[in-house]
Chains A and B, each alone.
Chain A
Amino acid sequence: KQEVTQIPAALSVPEGENLVLNCSFTDSAIYNLQWFRQDPGKGLTSLLLIQSSQREQTSGRLNASLDKSSGRSTLYIAASQPGDSATYLCAVNAGNNRKLIWGLGTSLAVNP
């Protein structure tokens, strides 16, 4: 059974720092992996989608990597800003029904 774990559960950093959020999954037979951002009480914003054949995807200050063999993905945020404060969720698309399996998220606070 696929399980997704995100570490750390919470992170607080000063503005300007580069940081890494981690996502691990137990079954490497995935179709793709998606990173989302969720602001308090709001819906989810898709940040990056990495297909199983890809190693990384970049969007602005965000870079997501995927290592299927080790069951890991990282989300790298460069030069963090207070506006990056949110919960970041990782979801794996796996199995015949292609449903998303979710991690519990990393709550990020970037302090001015």
Chain B
Amino acid sequence: SAVISQKPSRDICQRGTSLTIQCQVDSQVTMMFWYRQQPGQSLTLIATANQGSEATYESGFVIDKFPISRPNLTFSTLTVSNMSPEDSSIYLCSAQNPPGNEQFFGPGTRLTVL
């Protein structure tokens, strides 16, 4: 199994600002993902973070709003840009190794935008 940590665990931000969330895995993993979970909802996949190349975004999510970096096999960041109250959610990082095997999740980042 993989142990995943996220920073920050929570934040309260002002409208129009940006927040970068960090995700650290304790071992090298093939796949890393970023999810959003809005209040009372299940998880929505934002993008697959690709090591050394641009992330693969799901329908409805764009790089300008959610830029993602993955410089190596253990670390990734998600930035929520130009935030609005609708971005208030829990953001979750996950890892999977190799593709199709068990997926593990970080503790999540609870974001509130005022």
Contact = CB atoms under 8 A, between A and B. Distances in A.
How would you classify the secondary structure of chain A's contact residues: helix, strand, loop or mixed?
strand
Interface stretch (B13-21, B64-72, B76-84, B96-104): B96-104
A75 interface: no
Contact of B42 (A42, A43, A104): A104
B114 interface: no
B105 A44 contact: yes
19 contacts: A31-B100, A32-B101, A34-B103, A36-B105, A41-B90, A41-B108, A41-B110, A42-B108, A43-B6, A43-B92, A43-B105, A44-B92, A46-B104, A46-B105, A49-B101, A89-B43, A100-B103, A102-B43, A104-B42
Interface of A: 31-32, 34, 36, 41-46, 49, 89, 91, 93, 98-100, 102-105
